[in-house]
């Protein structure tokens, strides 16, 4: 197993933040039907009605409706558990049956969740429509990727990994539920992943920044 050090290298070329999974704080869902742990949001400390983007973990212990988020585009990734089925009122069903299955839907859609066999844990990306865009890719140890984004978040979904960024001498070690956040990426960033884990790579582009370029 890769050892995890509390003294992570400083990434001087970009603004970065190491977010330790053990430090995430549980709070109730917007509708009170479950528990969420916010990883990061923009602007910082923005409430449910003000964020431009938000990433979080959610524990779903029982079936029921999802919270409504008008004007928000949502991406949900199954991390653990037997999975769930997300039924939209219009008749479409999103099936999350294997780890890293992904569902994308509008936050204002009426969604009712059915658990397949017990509780699940999910990763959530929420983006305010028109203010930003974002997507999630699944990376594995031994892979290298080139990413372009205003903000890049690398979330260790399972196992342990080292993240090596172009121009940075030392790798950053991530254990399960740890996140490396990188802001102000000025150009395409080369990222190499080593270790036995799986990473969710969340790339976010701000509409206001795109309009200025």
How high is the pLDDT of residue 6? 43
3-state SS track over the chain: CCCCCCCCCCCCCCEEEEECHHHCCEEECCCCCCEEEEEEEECCCCCCCCCCEEEEEEEECCCEECCCCCCEEEEEEEEECCCEEEEECCCCEEEECCCCCEEEEECCCCEEEEECCCCEEEEEEEEECCCEEEEEEEEECCCEEEECCCEEEEEEEECEEEEEECCCCCCEEEECCCEEEEECCCCCEEEEEEECCEEEEEEEEEHHHHHHC
How high is the pLDDT of residue 149? 93
| pLDDT tens-place string over residues 177-193 | 999 999 987 678 999 99
Provide the sign of the torsion angle of the four alpha carbons 117, 119, 122, 128, taken in this order. positive
pTM listed for this prediction:
0.88
Domain ranges of the chain: 15-20+132-212, 23-128
Share of the chain above pLDDT 90, in %: 69
How high is the pLDDT of residue 62? 86
| pLDDT tens-place string over residues 58-95 | 998 888 888 889 999 999 999 999 999 999 988 899 99
How high is the pLDDT of residue 32? 66
- pLDDT confidence band for 213 (50 / 70 / 90): very low
Q: In the CATH scheme, what is the code of domain 15-20+132-212?
A: 2.60.120.10
Residue 38 has pLDDT above 80, yes or no: yes
- pLDDT confidence band for 14 (50 / 70 / 90): low
CB atoms within 10 A of CB 54: 21
How high is the pLDDT of residue 31? 65
Q: Of 2.40.110.10, 3.40.50.720, 2.60.120.10, 3.40.50.10490, which CATH number belongs to 23-128?
A: 2.60.120.10
Common-topology check for domains 15-20+132-212 and 23-128: yes
| pLDDT tens-place string over residues 116-162 | 998 899 999 999 999 999 999 999 999 999 999 999 999 999 999 99
How high is the pLDDT of residue 13? 52
């Amino acid at each position: 197993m890769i050892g995890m050090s509390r003294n992570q290298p400083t990434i001087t070329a970009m603004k970065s933040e190491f977010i330790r999974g053990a430090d995430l704080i549980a709070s109730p869902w917007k509708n009170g039907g479950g528990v969420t742990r916010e990883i990061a949001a923009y602007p910082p400390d923005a409430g449910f009605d003000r964020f431009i983007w938000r990433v979080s973990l959610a524990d779903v212990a029982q079936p029921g409706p999802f919270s409504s988020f008008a004007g928000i585009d949502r991406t949900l990734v199954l991390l653990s558990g037997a999975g769930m089925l997300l039924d939209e009122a219009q008749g479409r069903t999103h099936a999350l049956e294997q780890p890293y299955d992904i569902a994308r839907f509008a936050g204002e859609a009426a969604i009712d969740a059915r658990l397949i066999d017990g509780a699940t844990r999910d990763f959530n990306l929420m983006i305010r429509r028109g203010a930003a865009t974002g997507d999630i890719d699944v990376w594995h140890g031994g892979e290298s990727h080139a990413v372009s984004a205003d903000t890049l978040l690398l979330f260790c979904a399972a196992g342990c990994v080292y993240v090596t960024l172009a121009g940075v001498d030392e790798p950053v070690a991530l254990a399960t539920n740890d996140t490396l956040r990188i802001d102000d990426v000025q150009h395409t960033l080369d990222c190499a992943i080593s270790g036995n884990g799986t990473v969710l790579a969340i790339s976010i582009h701000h509409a206001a920044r795109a309009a200025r370029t």
